[in-house]
Structure 1
Amino acid sequence: MKKPHLIVPEGMEFIRDDIGYAPAVLAGNTLYISGQIGRDDQRQLVVDKEAQFVMVFENMKRVLEAAGGSFENLVEMTSFHTDMRDLPLFMQVRDRYLQGVYVAWTAIGAASLCGAPGYFLEVKGIAQLN
C-alpha cells in the first residue's frame, strides 16, 4: 500500500508543522480535504460574506486540482457555519461550483471558526480520484 502524501497547491505552502495541518492528504485514490476557509493567498480574511464563501470554494477547487481532480470527484462535504441562517447564500455559492454534482452533505452550526472573529464558513470534503 502506498504511503499517504500531502497535497499542497501553489500559494498554500503554509503547512503548519506546529499543528499538523496540510490542505489535503491523498491516501490511495481518496483525497481528504482539510477544512478550507475564506482566506486569500496572503492568508488574509475575505471580509464580505458572499466573497468569503466564494473564496472557500476557490480554495477547495485549488486543492482538488492540485490532486488531479475536480468538484466532480467530490463525494462528501461537511460545512461549518457560524450562522445557520446563511444556508441559502451558502447553497447559492455551492451550486455555482457543484453544478450537477450531488454529494453527501452535512451542515453544522459552530459558535466560532479558526478561533478568530469574522469567519462565517469552513468546508471540508472527501473526493474519490481515478
Structure 2
Amino acid sequence: MSKQGRKLLNPAGIEALSRRLGFSQAVQVGDTIWVSGQVGWDDEGNIAEGIKEQSRLALKNLRRVLAEAGATLDDIVELVTFQVDMSDLAAFAQVKSELMPNAYPAWTAVGTTALAFPALLIEVRATAVRHCLDQSAKP
C-alpha cells in the first residue's frame, strides 16, 4: 500500500488570509479534497448583497479552490451549508442548480445564529473526489 501525502491548497489571491488565520482553503489526499467554508465575498473582502449573490460568489470561490486540485463543482460528493436564515434554502438551491446542474451531492443544511462577519448570510464547505461524476447516478 502506498502512502499518499497531504497537499495544502491555497489559490493565489487568498493565501494571505489562510496564512494569517492558520488554515488551508483545502486539503487534498489522493483524489479526495476537503474544502474549508467559502463565503460570498470577493478577493478584496467585499461581501455581496443578498442571499443569491452571496451563494453565487461562495460557490464560485469553492470552484476556484477545487480547480487548484484539478477538480470541479461536479466532483463534490458532500456539501454542507451554514445559513443564518433557513428560509434562504430555496434561494441557495436555485443558485446551486445553476452552477452545479450535473452534481447531486449529499447536502446538509445547518441553521446558525451568526457567521464570521455580521453581513455574511451563508457559508459553504464541501468534500470532493476528483473525476468522480457518474451521470447514471443522477436521481
Same fold (TM over 0.5): yes
Q: 1:48 aligns with which of 42, 47, 50?
A: 50
Q: Which runs of 4+ in 1 moved over 6 A?
A: none
For the residues of structure 2 that align with 1:42 and 1:19, how far apart are their CA atoms?
A: 16
Q: How far is the alpha carbon of 1:15 from its aligned partner?
A: 4.0
Q: Deviations over 1:55-83 (max 9, x none)?
A: 00100110111110111111001000100
Structure 1 residues without counterparts, runs of 5 or longer: none
Computing the radius of gyration over CA atoms, which structure comes out larger, 1 or 2? 2
Structure 2 residues without counterparts, runs of 5 or longer: 132-139
Residue 60 of structure 2 is matched in structure 1 by 58
Task: Judge conservation of contact 1:15–1:23 (CA < 8 Å) in 2.
Answer: no
Q: Percent identity?
A: 33
**Counterparts in 2 of 1:71-110, with a 5 A limit?**
71-110=73-112
Residue 7 of structure 2 is matched in structure 1 by 5
Q: Which has the higher helix share?
A: 2
For the residues of structure 2 that align with 1:16 and 1:72, how far apart are their CA atoms?
A: 25
- TM-score of the pair, normalised by structure 1: 0.92
- 1:127 partner letter: A
Residue 117 of structure 1 is matched in structure 2 by 118
Residue 38 of structure 2 is matched in structure 1 by 36
Q: How far is the alpha carbon of 1:51 from its aligned partner?
A: 1.2
- TM-score of the pair, normalised by structure 2: 0.86
- 2:120 partner letter: Y
Q: How many residues align?
A: 129
